[in-house]
Structures are given as C-alpha cells and as structure tokens.
C-alpha cells in the first residue's frame, strides 16, 4: 500500500486556520521575494499553480491566494502522528518523505479484511485522528501501489488486483513511470511511444540501443508491472545538500562567505545526525537568468564537521573564477559516504583534541535541535587552510 497526503503543507494550514478553508493556499516564498511554491491547495491548482513554480508566476496566476511561509517543524509533528497511525496497522512501514509512505499489508486480511477495507480503514483513521485527507493505492508491488495512489488523487482509494495490472498500466502516459525525466521522455517519443501500451509492444533490443541495458530493462519491466515489493529497507541517501536563494543578487565576498558558512553548518549537522561522513564536497552557484554551475572536489579523508565543510566549499568558490559576479543562489552538498567515521578536523590534531572536537559538535547539535538553526554557531580559525 502507498499512502500520499493530499497537498500536505497546504492542508495542514487549512486545518489549523479555518479562515483558509475553501480558499487557494500557497505555501512557499512570499510574493515579491525570490523562491518557489513548496506546495499549494487544490483550490490554487485550479489556477494552474504547481509545486516548484517560481513564486512570481504563482502570484501572476493567483494573486488572491493566501501565501504562507512553510512551518516545517509543525508539518514534521503532524507527519510523526501519521506514521504512528500507520505503525499501528502494519509492522512494516517505510516513510519515503514527510508526507508519503509504503506499508506492507501482506497477511493482514485476517485482522482487517480485504486490501480495499484496509486502505479505507487507514484513510478513516487519519481523517479522524489528524483531520487530514490522503490518497491510498494498493498493488502487488511498489510501482503499482504508487501509481494507484496517484491515479485516485485527491482523497483517492484505488486497488490494482493482479489480474488488473495490464489494464491499469496500458492507458497511462509513459511519463507516469518511475525514472522517466524530461530527457528520457524526449527519446521515448522519438521512438513513437506515448503510452505504456506502446512501450510494452516495443522491442527490447530497440530500447537497449536507445537507453542501454540497465535503462532499457527498467522501462521494459515497468511496462509489465514488474518492480520491487520490498518495504522497510530505506535506501541510502545519495547526498546531503542545502541551498539559499537571495532576495537580491549579491557579489559581496563577505556575504557569500557568511552564506556558505551557514549552509555548511546545516549540511554538517544533518550528516552527523545520520552517522555519516562524506568524501565529495560540492558547490552550486546560480546567477541571473538561472545560469547554474557546480564545482566538486574529492577529498582523501571524509568530512562531517561544519568548519571542514565550509573550508572546502570556500576553496571551491575561490577557485571557481566567479568572484565578483552577482550571485542569485548558493548551495553546498556532501556525498560519497563513509559510515561512522570520525570527523576530519586538523590532520595533525592529537586524539584528545579530536575527542574534544567531537564533544563540541555533539553539544552544538543538541542545542540546535532544541532551539533551532542559528541559535549557536562556531567561530572559525583565522587560518582558512
């Protein structure tokens, strides 16, 4: 079973603010400032507003909407309530985002009835206990369950039985399948393929010639409803990154430095919380006109400390050749993980100094978790190394 909360952030705002109900609600950046739509209510979608749309475009389409800044802590608390409800239904729940989860309901028929009854019960429990609406899809694997929940939105409930798989899949556009992005869809359409039915009738050798063995097999299997049915094994996060969009383009080196330092601290805190350390640091720079560049550096030792991440990010900026240009967005990322590796500080530090550093960051993280980001930060050595 796949559960997806409908317009989650906007629905929480409408629930908690009765005056917002039945009105278009847009959660994200505020009009007149840079940024995008995080999510929007279905009343706003009538006007063509969508997630990830620039806020300026959303305002042009729907100036009468209620615009709200995201309150992630409140949404996370509601998400925790929802996941607790799911855990009471099945011992195998895999949250995949703040508002989505897969639930293995194999063998629960004796307790709760047929799959459709289990899905209906889940929706009812969430509505009664959290006062929010969700869409649920049930299928023999993750792909089918996810597509079924999408097909019924909003407030949907759809079960795809084994004998219904092909009839359900065939009419769908190929773009509904997993991993089919803009570039892939262009290649698929050049082959004259529009629907899943078209894809299913396409020769595998032709797909291999176009997409390579792995990509072709991925498409070939999806068109036949073949996918993983494993729930509960959360895949490793490929990278941890944070970005900031400026209200006005900036070129002041100190402002850029301060922003990179703050982003590095956020990345470091998340990395340590997950017990990881990364070997590859990345810097993202966006200028006006959405001109975007990335720079990466592979390090011999792994990082998980704010200062080490910042120094690497700042070094990438200094070597980028972009100094002096007005910047619209900055981002810092860390990837290629080494699990439970001590943080890299000074390479010549003694064991006692490294232990002390670990304790400092542990205290810093505890305070940040309790009082919020920016409540306490570390100073930097004058030597930037």
Catalytic one of 13, 94, 100, 266: 100
pLDDT reported for residue 301: 78
pLDDT reported for residue 364: 59
Q: What is the CATH number of domain 239-371?
A: 3.30.1490.100
pLDDT reported for residue 128: 97
> 7-70 belongs to which CATH class?
alpha beta
pLDDT reported for residue 349: 42
Per-residue pLDDT of the chain (385 residues; tens, 9 = 90+): 999 999 999 999 999 999 999 999 999 999 998 889 999 999 999 999 999 999 999 999 999 999 999 999 999 999 999 999 999 999 899 998 899 999 999 989 988 999 999 999 999 999 999 999 999 999 999 999 999 999 989 999 999 999 999 999 999 999 999 888 888 899 999 999 999 999 999 999 999 998 888 889 999 999 999 998 888 755 556 789 999 999 899 999 999 999 999 999 999 988 888 888 888 899 999 998 788 899 998 887 788 889 999 999 999 999 999 999 999 999 999 987 764 433 444 434 444 454 555 566 566 566 655 555 555 566 554 444 3
pLDDT reported for residue 46: 96
pLDDT reported for residue 381: 45
Place of tokens 């990837």: 335
Query: Which of 90-97's residues contact partners 24+ apart within 8 Å by CB, and which partners?
Result: 92/231, 92/232, 93/231, 93/232, 94/231, 94/232, 94/233, 94/234, 95/234, 96/234
Residue ranges of the chain that CATH labels 3.30.70.270: 73-166
pLDDT reported for residue 230: 86
pLDDT reported for residue 290: 80
Classified as helix, coil or strand, 21 is coil
Query: Which residue in 233, 252, 255 sits closest to 104, CA to CA?
Result: 233
Residue ranges of the chain that CATH labels 1.10.150.20: 172-222
Two tokens at 245?
């969009």
CA distance 241 to 274: 13
Query: Which of 31-37's residues contact partners 24+ apart within 8 Å by CB, and which partners?
Result: 31/55, 31/56, 31/59, 31/63, 31/67, 32/59, 33/247, 34/245, 34/246, 34/247, 34/328, 35/245
Indicate the Cα dihedral angle 294, 300, 303, 308, nearest 10°.
Answer: -80
Indicate the Cα dihedral angle 64, 65, 69, 74, nearest 10°.
Answer: 150
pLDDT reported for residue 220: 94
Residue ranges of the chain that CATH labels 3.40.1170.60: 7-70
Instruction: Determine if residue 372 is left, alpha or beta; phi over 0 gives left, psi from -120 to 50 gives alpha, anything else beta.
Output: left
CA dihedral sign of residues 184, 141, 203, 207: positive
Q: Please report, for residues 10, 29, 234, 289, the alpha-carbon distance to residue 38 in angstroms, rounded to integers and kept in the order given.
A: 9, 8, 24, 21
Two tokens at 223?
């068109």
CATH of 172-222, one of 3.90.1300.10, 1.10.150.20, 3.40.50.720, 2.70.98.60: 1.10.150.20
Residue ranges of the chain that CATH labels 3.30.1490.100: 239-371
CATH of 73-166, one of 1.20.810.10, 3.40.1790.10, 3.30.70.270, 3.40.50.720: 3.30.70.270
Indicate the Cα dihedral angle 57, 59, 61, 62, nearest 10°.
Answer: 150
| Residue 100 falls in the annotated catalytic set | yes
pLDDT reported for residue 300: 75
pLDDT reported for residue 143: 96
pLDDT reported for residue 359: 60
CA distance 27 to 39: 5
């Amino acid at each position: 079973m796949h559960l997806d909360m409908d317009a989650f952030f906007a629905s929480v705002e409408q629930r908690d603010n009765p005056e917002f109900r039945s009105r278009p609600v847009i959660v994200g950046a505020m009009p007149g400032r840079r940024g995008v739509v995080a999510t929007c209510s279905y009343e706003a979608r009538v006007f063509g507003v969508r997630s990830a749309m620039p806020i300026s475009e959303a305002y042009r389409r729907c100036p009468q909407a209620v615009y709200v800044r995201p309150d992630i802590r409140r949404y996370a608390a509601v998400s925790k309530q929802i996941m607790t409800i799911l855990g009471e239904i099945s011992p195998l729940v895999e949250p995949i985002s703040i508002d989505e989860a897969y639930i293995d309901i194999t063998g629960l028929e004796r307790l709760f009835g047929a799959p459709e009854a289990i899905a209906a019960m889940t929706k009812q429990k969430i509505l009664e206990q959290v006062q929010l609406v969700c869409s649920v899809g049930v299928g023999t694997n993750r792909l089918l369950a996810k597509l079924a929940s999408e097909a019924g939105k909003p407030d949907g409930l759809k079960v795809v039985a084994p004998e219904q798989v092909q009839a359900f899949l065939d009419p769908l556009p190929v773009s509904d399948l997993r991993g089919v992005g803009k570039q892939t869809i262009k290649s698929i359409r050049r082959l004259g393929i529009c629907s899943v039915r078209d894809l299913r009738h396409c020769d595998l050798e032709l797909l291999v010639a176009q997409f390579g063995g792995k990509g072709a097999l991925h498409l070939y299997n999806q068109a036949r409803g073949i996918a993983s049915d494993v729930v509960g094994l959360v895949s490793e996060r490929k990278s941890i990154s944070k970005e900031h969009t400026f209200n006005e383009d900036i070129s002041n080196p100190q402002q850029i430095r301060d922003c990179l330092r703050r982003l590095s601290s956020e990345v470091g805190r998340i990395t340590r919380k997950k017990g990881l350390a990364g070997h590859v640091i990345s810097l993202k720079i966006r200028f006006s006109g959405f001109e975007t560049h990335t720079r990466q550096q592979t390090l011999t030792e792994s990082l998980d400390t704010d200062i080490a991440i910042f120094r690497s990010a700042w070094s990438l900026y200094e070597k980028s050749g972009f100094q002096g240009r007005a910047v619209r967005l900055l981002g810092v990322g860390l990837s290629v993980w080494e699990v439970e590796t001590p943080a890299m500080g000074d390479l010549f530090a003694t064991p006692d100094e490294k232990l002390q550093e670990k304790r400092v960051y542990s205290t810093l993280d505890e305070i940040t978790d309790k009082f919020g980001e920016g409540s306490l930060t570390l100073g930097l050595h004058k030597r930037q190394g």
